[in-house]
Amino acid sequence: MGYIDNFNLVLALLVLATCFSFSPVLGMKYLGPNLYAGEVEVYVNNLIAPNILLYNHCKSKENDLGLQKVAYGHNQTWSFRVNFFATTLYWCNMYWFNDMSKSYVQGGFQIYKATRDYDKCDGNCVRNVKREGLCFFNPDQSDIPPKFMFAWPKKSIIGIN
């Protein structure tokens, strides 16, 4: 009787391991063999214009990075590991004063989403913040130009009189 119980246990473990190795069975996107091998670094670069400060508040479900002031030509950077279920998400609310229109521009963006970004960043995820919006860039693939991802929301402009 003990042999059959051990056999059933081993069989159950093999079935479970097989399920986790084939992500479509669980409805999860396969993120590659290096998912847990290292950290992901995110860089948020202020490329809006000289003398324009970017106010940036990024957080995930587990980690709040606080409000940061990023000067033109500088960046905010942080690193983390993608969680087991690849649901890691960092959201940033940012704003800056548009000296041309004399108004504040603000928006909230998914700055890092594991299922979207992991295989595109190779561990280094660069976000360039510009007047037009946000571009994503992978410095390890410098032959590929930055990809425009998010425009500033139309209703994001707050005028001051």
pLDDT tens-place string over residues 88-139: 999 999 999 998 888 999 999 999 999 999 888 878 999 999 999 999 988 8
**pTM across the whole model:** 0.74
Number of domains observed in the structure of the chain: 2
Q: What is the CA radius of gyration of the chain?
A: 21
Buried b vs exposed e over 72-86: b needs ≥16 C-beta within 10 Å? beebbebeeebeeeb
**Within a domain: residue 35?**
no
Residue 119 is predicted with a pLDDT of 81
Residues 46 and 26 in one domain: no
How many whole angstroms separate alpha carbon 89 and alpha carbon 133? 19
For residue 52, pLDDT beyond 70? yes
Which domain range does residue 12 map to? 1-30
What CATH number corresponds to the domain at position 61? 2.60.40
Residues 25 and 77 in one domain: no
